[in-house]
Amino acid sequence: MRMRPTLSWTPTEDLRPGTTDPEPVAEALRAGGVLVLSGAGLSTESGIPDYRGEGGSLRRHTPMTYQQFTAGPQARRRYWARSHLGWRTFGRARPNAGHRAVAAFERRGLLAGVITQNVDGLHQAAGSEAVVELHGSLDRVVCLSCGDRTARHALARRLEEANADFEPVAAGLNPDGDADLTDEQVGDFRVMPCSQCGGVLKPDVVFFGEAVPPQRVEHCRELVGAATSLLVLGSSLTVMSGLRFVRQAARAGKPVLIVNRDPTRGDALAAARIALPLGTTLTAVADRLAAPAGDRPTT
């Protein structure tokens, strides 16, 4: 059965408007023990589109589900052709000011950790170390038969060699690294098997229709339990994957702060939503925390 990703949510109650004052975020960070939960909106300033924001990819593109991917070779040919082309751009993405600010918070000992819903590795590239990749990472590949994990760049070389004439022009890039291609552009793209056992290779990410490994979810729940507050960055919280941690924090009486320009599914549980761009806002907060007490702005 094909599982269509959740495209949107409709508020069942009136939500208070977002604020443009980032001081609640600064206050939480001063107290320390903040757990960051980041979503696709944090990476848009690095050139990677989000799913549901203005111009989000779900308006034109439905990601392949796990059930489709495992159903047959034609679906995998379509996926790997699109993903291989997308990787040429996705793999060159660099951290933006938002990622760098989060890494700075960690270096100052203000964070309890980072849970990211993103698969781009940009938190680590910016210098963050205590990162849980909730949905995995595109820079790894796993064999569905033997479980062998390899680096994505090794597979990219094999795909380049096997498809030397593959040079289509994509209509766009998606948050999962997929490039938009027609079936005609996919053509007879050659898919590579596992070099160890000949099995089916899959990016080491959680597809739509696939469950996050239970031990990973439990680890994230433990992080929420140990944190003093939860800071959500660039996530609409439309799907339960991230929303469950907001609900857990709220039930435990821990402050939830959200930085997202658009309303989110977690707004009703949040102490505040700061409706400002992520990069400039987090940089300003980092600067505010670094300033001597007498020099800190009051608004």
Is 220 annotated to bind a ligand? Reply is: no
Residue 25 and residue 274 in contact, taking contact as beta carbons nearer than 8 Å: yes
Is 120 annotated to bind a ligand? Reply is: yes
Angle 108-113-118 from CA coordinates, rounded to 5°: 120
Is 111 annotated to bind a ligand? Reply is: no
Residue type, 91: G
Helix 240-251 × helix 214-226 angle, to 10°: 30
Residue 57 and residue 250 in contact, taking contact as beta carbons nearer than 8 Å: no
Q: How far apart are CA 243 and CA 249, in angstroms?
A: 10
Phi/psi of residue 5, each to 5°? Answer: -65, 150
User: What pTM was estimated for this model as a whole?
Assistant: 0.89
Name the residue ranges covered by the structural domains of the chain: 23-291
> Tell me, what's the pLDDT at 57?
43
Q: What residues are labeled active site?
A: 135
> Tell me, what's the pLDDT at 12?
63
> Tell me, what's the pLDDT at 266?
95
> Tell me, what's the pLDDT at 10?
65
Is 86 annotated to bind a ligand? Reply is: no
Query: What is the CATH architecture assignment of 23-291?
Result: 3-Layer(aba) Sandwich (3.40)
Is 143 annotated to bind a ligand? Reply is: yes
Is 58 annotated to bind a ligand? Reply is: yes
Is 163 annotated to bind a ligand? Reply is: no
> Tell me, what's the pLDDT at 201?
98
Q: Which two tokens stand for residue 74?
A: 């034609």
Q: How far apart are CA 211 and CA 26, in angstroms?
A: 34
| Cβ atoms within 10 Å of 221's Cβ, excluding its own | 13
The ranges of the chain with pLDDT < 70 are 1-13, 50-61, 171-172, 175, 292-299
To which residue do tokens 């790894």 refer? 140
Q: Is the dihedral of CA 12, 13, 14, 20 positive or negative?
A: negative
DSSP string, 153-203: HHHHHHHHHHTTT--PPPS-B-TTS-B---HHHHTTPPPPPPTTT---EEE
Q: How far apart are CA 249 and CA 245, in angstroms?
A: 6
> Tell me, what's the pLDDT at 90?
84
Is 139 annotated to bind a ligand? Reply is: no
> Tell me, what's the pLDDT at 182?
84
Q: How far apart are CA 161 and CA 163, in angstroms?
A: 6
Phi/psi of residue 207, each to 5°? Answer: -75, 160
Q: Which helix (H) or strand (E) holds 23?
A: helix 23-31
